[in-house]
Amino acid sequence: MAYHAMTMAHIQLEHWDEQQLKESLSHRVKGGFGAFWVAGSRPTEPPPVQPIALTGGIPDPDTLPTEQLIECSNTVLRREGPAALRYGGHQGHPGLREWLAEETRRREGLDVQADNFTITNGISGALINVSETFLNEGEVGLVELPTFPGGSGAIQNCLCDIVGVTVDEEGLVPEALEETIEQQESEGRNVKLLYTVPNFQNPTGTTLTVERRERVVEICHAHNVVIAEDDAYGDVRFEGEKPPSLFAIARGKGVVFMGSFSKTMATGLRIGWTLSEQQVTDSLLQTRFDLGASPWVQRTILEFASNGMFEKHLDKVNEVYRKKRDVMLSALEERCSRYAKWTRPEGGYFLWLTLAEGVDPEKLAKAAYNLGVAYVGGYAFHIDGTGQNTVRLAYSFANEDEIPEAIMRLGRALEEASQA
């Protein structure tokens, strides 16, 4: 029996070469961004200095509510173990959806119900679901420029074309949006979807103004473009009032709101959601074949949230990230003001640097690598190949006391990159 198995394996290997594999791959693999992307080339040797990472949008490890989640998980398993450990359905746990509905009614004054929500595998799963529901091959999906690469990839994975719309210090530019849609329509193309991150945008940290939100909704309604609103960072707010969502401004018409517990609690939970009008929700469920997100995790989050732990946790993490942002802003002002300018977000995880004209981006990347500070080059967020003169810095994951040293190293790298 063992000999037969080995023989079969040998036969299969002989008849499966690299060229056959390439021919078997789908257009999604051949033409898409891929699930993983690297900003810049992979180093071939270990860095000369242990780097301080200002790269990923990852929560601070010390803020993770590990003990509370252990307690909540134990409670759920003892109280409702069999239900928590079997398939929970595509739409998600009714209790968690009702909690989300109550929060939305309280925060935005909208008459939404549990059935307006679906529970997804994070916002990534939500956007894949939205894209597959609305986009056909050859149609056009709009993204911000710059934008989160995972969002662009989910849209492009539907074999449609992606087109960028400019973002400035006040968020998505409505005039550019309208011009882009009209240009695409004049070429006979069908623009179907706009993906936008209006609160503390990834990567720039900008927030779309209320006036622009209203105009974006008007433009998309006029051209029958569905808005996919990504609010991953909306609750990570340090100052100012949270503006109304695009969903609230549109009264639910033509907008799918997408939220997540990843940036407020833990990325490993992988629980997000969509909020949409009933007909859209029904349509989203028609393209779900994953048997739903984990009922165990959903019930654990509900236990955490319904006992008042979520609001206390949110206050705690926002204070942590506020301090980190302030430390980074202060260090940048001290060390880097000659070589770059940057955004000052009221929340979120990121700062966005625009390099001065005399700074060479390639020299900066090399110098930063040698000096031991890691960042993400801005071109990674531009679908049109631009953005070489920009940099994204994440302050969420690094220790607060590491940030001044990281920015000092960045300042030295900027100085080296600006020399003739």
Which 3-state string (H, E, C) describes 154-176? HHHCCCCEEEEEEEECCEECHHH
pLDDT band at 63 (very low <50, low <70, confident <90, very high): very high
pTM: 0.92
pLDDT recorded at residue 199: 98
| Contact by Cβ (8 Å): 107, 99 | no
pLDDT band at 49 (very low <50, low <70, confident <90, very high): confident
The token pair that represents 363 in the structure block: 């020299």
Which of 301, 247, 264 has its CA nearest to residue 107? Answer: 247
Q: Which residue has the higher pLDDT, 284 or 44?
A: 284
pLDDT recorded at residue 39: 40
3-state secondary structure of 384: coil
The dihedrals phi and psi of 374, each to the nearest 5 degrees, come to -110, 135
The structure tokens 């934008």 sit at: 147
pLDDT tens-digit readout, 341-365: 999 999 999 999 999 999 999 999 9
Q: Is the pLDDT of residue 40 over 50?
A: no
Measured at the CA of 373, the angle between CA 371 and CA 378, to 5 degrees, comes to: 120
Q: Is the pLDDT of residue 41 over 50?
A: no
The structure tokens 């890691």 sit at: 374
Amino acid at site 5: A
- Cα separation, 247 vs 31, in Å, equals 32
What's the whole-number mean pLDDT along residues 71-91? Answer: 96
| Contact by Cβ (8 Å): 193, 225 | yes
pLDDT recorded at residue 419: 74
pLDDT tens-digit readout, 140-175: 999 999 999 999 999 998 889 999 999 999 999 999
pLDDT recorded at residue 14: 55
Q: Which letter does DSSP use for residue 209 in this model?
A: -
| Contact by Cβ (8 Å): 284, 133 | yes
pLDDT band at 30 (very low <50, low <70, confident <90, very high): low
The terminus-to-terminus CA distance of the chain in angstroms comes to 70
Amino acid at site 402: E
Which helix or strand (DSSP H or E) is residue 19 part of? Answer: helix 18-24
Is the peptide bond between 146 and the residue preceding it cis, with omega within 30 degrees of 0?
Answer: yes
**Domain extents for the chain?**
48-64+312-418, 66-308
| Contact by Cβ (8 Å): 304, 72 | yes
* Domain over 48-64+312-418 is classified CATH 3.40.640.10: no
Which of 239, 204, 209 has its CA nearest to residue 321? Answer: 239
Which helix or strand (DSSP H or E) is residue 143 part of? Answer: strand 140-145
pLDDT recorded at residue 5: 54
- For the chain, what is the mean pLDDT? 92
Share of the chain above pLDDT 90, in %: 85
What's the whole-number mean pLDDT along residues 38-65? Answer: 79
Pairing of strands 171-172, 161-168: antiparallel
* Domain over 66-308 is classified CATH 3.40.640.10: yes
